Chain A
């Protein structure tokens, strides 16, 4: 167990290092950030001065070394636009994103798993066909377009939900959370539904596929030969086995939600880190982009690690090596 943890830790650091190299290289090829910090009428001397201050006059290798050492020292640079530490900016907005992602994930799980189990258990029923067709529609829809249609219908046309913003928040353990206020729920409903649809469809299809695969197993027939009801066989014997593949993609789906949150937040003007990323891309605010990517990489790596742990808890055959 201990050896496994060490091994995983080294793997995680390696992935983060690779990401840091890629992020750094890509950023070096992007436009010249010096023009983001100097005034429009700056002289050549001022530009050269700014370039030196930003360290842009040195070789790539030196720049990378500086980039890496400052990352490791917790110095993530300042936003060119906000003139604040980039990390602070991101961390301020992170709770809003995490909140929306979690609500969307919860929604996806609650809807997808029962429907997926039903569709897998009754593959030929009419309702299953409808469920499967809808789920296919779910992965065929552009998420941003769904958000837009929801805004048009519920905000513009009927005026029952707000079209943007986060609404009232309450503070708990120093975090601003909208799930504690009625207004907060009112605001998060549309963006969370929009965000959840794709993941919902994928989880549903995975659950169904898992159920169908499991239905063919001998132990399901053996359980029925014991006299268990069809329902018990499905839920007590089938579901847990069927969910193993679902758990393996759970981490990836959480990652997808974080990624797609950038788009959802942009549509609904949700003040999260995804919207900050898109704004920063428009403004070429390099330090913010870098911090976002490194932080998200860290989150993904940790999620994947946790998924592996959960995996071993569900399946007694798997041991951590």
Chain B
């Protein structure tokens, strides 16, 4: 621990305001996602706890605001703040799980492509090439339009667009790793392939993935929000932040802005925090820039 506190990484962290702001935002969201339901009295999914009499209350600092609902309420009398806390859980859950799935699948495929080469490599990489020439959002949109809404389906669509970047990165580093003498030596010594990969190749290709994975969570949160906004993401029963914005958009023209603006602010803070910290990591973990 003391070595960590004395390290250059930690030193730069304490001097980088973006790293501190980014990680603080991330920590806030981690707390909100874990403790969210205990922070608010109302469960926005529980119809019994809603009262139509409370509908469309503006934020507390405006005329007609209600101190029970500091960010206002929506058409069913649902507390916007409570909706955001519950919605953030779904958004963050989708972002994290899809990132982990993409990372695992992409890393495996990248290792296979880089280590074995040949036809397997060509097939995997050609698929990656074709996919990379299309915007992720369009591929995800297309997949969702084919399979229908649902949290599980969003996860599948995001993983389907997310694995490519890991596969390419891991394949590249694997190719340069297996050229190195110690791996050649291990091969000559007759170490089985899976051991070489696990002991020698994998540890050396993981560092760049940390940055990619961090930033990808933010990207996924945004893509999921876009899909849900278009109505092809999560179902109405599990409203993510994106779906909250969509629901609010329908009443925006009546001047009821708070139901859509605040969930957007939440997404922005979450993704901004992730990107700030991801940027710091990229600068720190990329020795070429120093």
Contact A136 B230 (CB under 8 A): no
Nearest Cβ in chain A — how far from B224, in angstroms? 10
Contact A30 B146 (CB under 8 A): yes
| A152/B134 contact (C-beta < 8 A), A30-B146, A142-B242, A144-B245 known | no
Nearest Cβ in chain B — how far from A141, in angstroms? 5
| A136/B279 contact (C-beta < 8 A), A26-B146, A145-B260, A300-B134 known | yes
Contact B272 A15 (CB under 8 A): no
Q: Which stretch from A52-60, A101-109, A251-259 is at the chain B interface?
A: A251-259
Q: How far is the CA of A136 from the CA of B141 in the complex (A)?
A: 24
Contact of A255 among B134, B218, B267 (CB under 8 A): B134
Contact A148 B249 (CB under 8 A): yes
Q: How far is the CA of A263 from the CA of B137 in the complex (A)?
A: 10
CB neighbors of A among B212-267 (8 A):
218, 222, 225-226, 229-232, 242, 245, 249, 252-253, 255, 257, 260-261, 264, 267
Contacts of B222 in A (CB 8 A): 140, 142
Proximity string of chain B (131-163) to chain A, C-beta cutoff 8 Å, 1 when within and 0 when not: 001110110011101110000000000000000
| A156/B255 contact (C-beta < 8 A), A142-B267, A145-B264, A259-B138 known | yes
* A143 CB–B CB distance under 8 Å: yes
Contact of B142 among A148, A293, A304 (CB under 8 A): A293
Contact of B226 among A23, A30, A142, A304 (CB under 8 A): A142
Nearest Cβ in chain A — how far from B131, in angstroms? 10
Contact A144 B229 (CB under 8 A): yes
* B271 CB–A CB distance under 8 Å: yes
* A97 CB–B CB distance under 8 Å: no
* B275 CB–A CB distance under 8 Å: yes
Contact B137 A256 (CB under 8 A): yes
CB neighbors of A among B163-206 (8 A):
none
Contacts of A136 in B (CB 8 A): 272, 275-276, 279
* B28 CB–A CB distance under 8 Å: no
Contact B130 A19 (CB under 8 A): yes
* A260 CB–B CB distance under 8 Å: yes
* A37 CB–B CB distance under 8 Å: no
Contact A140 B271 (CB under 8 A): yes
* B43 CB–A CB distance under 8 Å: no
Q: How far is the CA of A174 from the CA of B241 in the complex (A)?
A: 43
Contact B218 A142 (CB under 8 A): no
Q: How far is the CA of A173 from the CA of B274 in the complex (A)?
A: 48
Contact B138 A296 (CB under 8 A): yes
| A145/B253 contact (C-beta < 8 A), A26-B142, A133-B18 known | no
Contact B272 A282 (CB under 8 A): no
Contact A140 B272 (CB under 8 A): yes
Q: How many chain-B residues does the 8 Å CB contact rule pick out?
A: 39
Contact B267 A145 (CB under 8 A): yes
CB neighbors of B among A3-34 (8 A):
15, 18-19, 23, 26-27, 29-30
* A137 CB–B CB distance under 8 Å: yes
Contacts of A142 in B (CB 8 A): 222, 225-226, 229, 242, 245, 264, 267-268
Q: How far is the CA of A281 from the CA of B242 in the complex (A)?
A: 19
Closest residue of A by beta carbon distance from B17: A129
| A259/B229 contact (C-beta < 8 A), A148-B264, A156-B253 known | no
* A100 CB–B CB distance under 8 Å: no
Nearest Cβ in chain B — how far from A224, in angstroms? 22
Contact B226 A140 (CB under 8 A): no
Contact B133 A148 (CB under 8 A): no
Nearest Cβ in chain A — how far from B220, in angstroms? 12
Contact A30 B145 (CB under 8 A): yes
* A262 CB–B CB distance under 8 Å: yes
Contacts of A263 in B (CB 8 A): 137, 226, 229-230
Closest 8 CB pairs of A and B: A145-B264, A259-B135, A140-B272, A140-B271, A259-B138, A281-B145, A26-B146, A256-B135
Known: A142-B264, A281-B230. 13 other contacts (CB 8 A): A136-B276, A142-B226, A143-B226, A145-B225, A145-B245, A145-B260, A152-B257, A252-B133, A255-B135, A259-B137, A263-B229, A281-B145, A300-B133
